[in-house]
Structure 1
Amino acid sequence: MPRLLIVAHAPSPNTERLRAAAERGARHPDVESVEVMVKPPLEAGPEDVLACDAILLGTTENLGYMSGALKDFFDRSYYAVLEEKQGLPCALYIRAGHDGTGTRRAVESIVTGLRWKWVQAPLLLRGAWQDAFADQAEELGLYLAAGLDSGIF
């Protein structure tokens, strides 16, 4: 059974809503044969990446960069998965209080080095909180899980 790994930093109630929405989408009843694993970045590691077939990353924008927790995940996992997980389908959402471009560039740089495959452009959730952000995160989780379920990814 294909496995989707969601690694998302959720330090606030709203970012927790995003992570829960992404998981809800990934566990949609129409997706029949995908195992979903959700971990915060400080608990996820290379063994989780090696065991997955696609990954959804979630981060806050912190001083124009990704969260320290997601950076720590990459620091601990990068070389351990570099050779074995090339081509891993991935997606990203960024909860950005400003524009999110620095955060996006930072994650894209790491993903390029890992040779992972973007399944869609990063989702930038900019500005003041909007309830629609959770809907977008849910749709992203569903998209990844449905792609795995159907064999597209």
Structure 2
Amino acid sequence: MSRQTARPCLLIVHHSPTGLLNSVTEEVVDAASSAAAEVNATLPAGLHLEVRQRDALRPDADELLAASALLFGTSANFGYISGALKHYFDSTFRQVTGDPGYSARNVPFSYWIRGGHDTTGAQKAMDSITTGYGWTRAADPVCFTGDPAPHIHALREMAENTVGAWYTSLD
């Protein structure tokens, strides 16, 4: 496996089984795509950042290895991340971190969590898991309960800042 890809990619891995979570994901994807278009206007075509989505139930370690930046989205269920996102991490961890060419320290990432009552356990899990992969946090995670409307600006800013972190890493 190789982290090299023909085109840089921001990979957005999420589990969005409800309309509410899907609308949150759409905001993040839209913000990331807009930010990518903005930075792509300053770059040669071969360096244009592509924004891709991956359903957490369909893990792809090669795709994760090739990603230039990462965003993760999940609900908080029973005090933890969704089983789907946990499955994604379980299915890719050994393959990704065991790859001889794996160098994750410069891969910017962030995440969002929407819970019904509490996100504390899910936040701890995400922090532990992403530390294990060795990625570099590019933006403060957005973790909230209830209605996402008051958090849309923060979600969009998280996505934009993650794209920005990738862009500044090119220097």
**Do both proteins adopt the same fold according to a TM-score greater than 0.5, normalized to the shorter chain?**
yes
**1:3-152 equivalence runs, <5 A:** 3-28=9-34, 29-32=37-40, 33-83=48-98, 84-87=102-105, 88-126=107-145, 128-151=146-169
TM-score if structure 1 supplies the norm length? Answer: 0.90
CA RMSD of aligned residues (A): 1.8
Partner SS state of residue 113, structure 2? strand
* Structure of larger gyration radius: 2
Q: How many residue pairs end up in the alignment?
A: 152
Q: How far is the alpha carbon of 1:130 from its aligned partner?
A: 3.5
The residue number in structure 1 matching 2:8 is 2
Work out whether residues 50 and 85 of structure 1, in 8 Å CA contact, stay in contact via their aligned partners in 2: no
Alpha-carbon spacing, 1:17–1:85, altered in 2? closer, same or farther (3 Å)? farther
Structure 2 gap segments, 5+ residues each: 1-6, 41-47
Change (3 A) 1:85 1:15: farther
Q: Contact conserved, 1:3 with 1:37, CA < 8 A, in 2? A: yes
Deviation of 1:152 after TM superposition, in Å, equals 6.2
Maintained 8 Å contact 2:141/2:158: no
Residues 76 and 113, structure 2, Cα contact 8 Å, conserved in 1: yes
Confirm or deny: 8 A CA contact 2:108 2:166 kept in the other structure: no
Amino acid at match of 2:39: V
Q: CA deviation at 1:45?
A: 1.8
Superposed displacement of residue 93, structure 1: 0.5
**In 2, Cα distance between the equivalents of 1:97 and 1:15?**
11
AA of the residue aligned to 1:66: I
Which residue identity lines up with residue 149 of structure 2 in the other structure? D
CA deviation after TM superposition for structure 1 residue 62, in Å = 0.5
Native 8 Å contact 1:2 1:149 kept in 2: no
Partners of 1:85 and 1:92 in 2: CA distance: 20
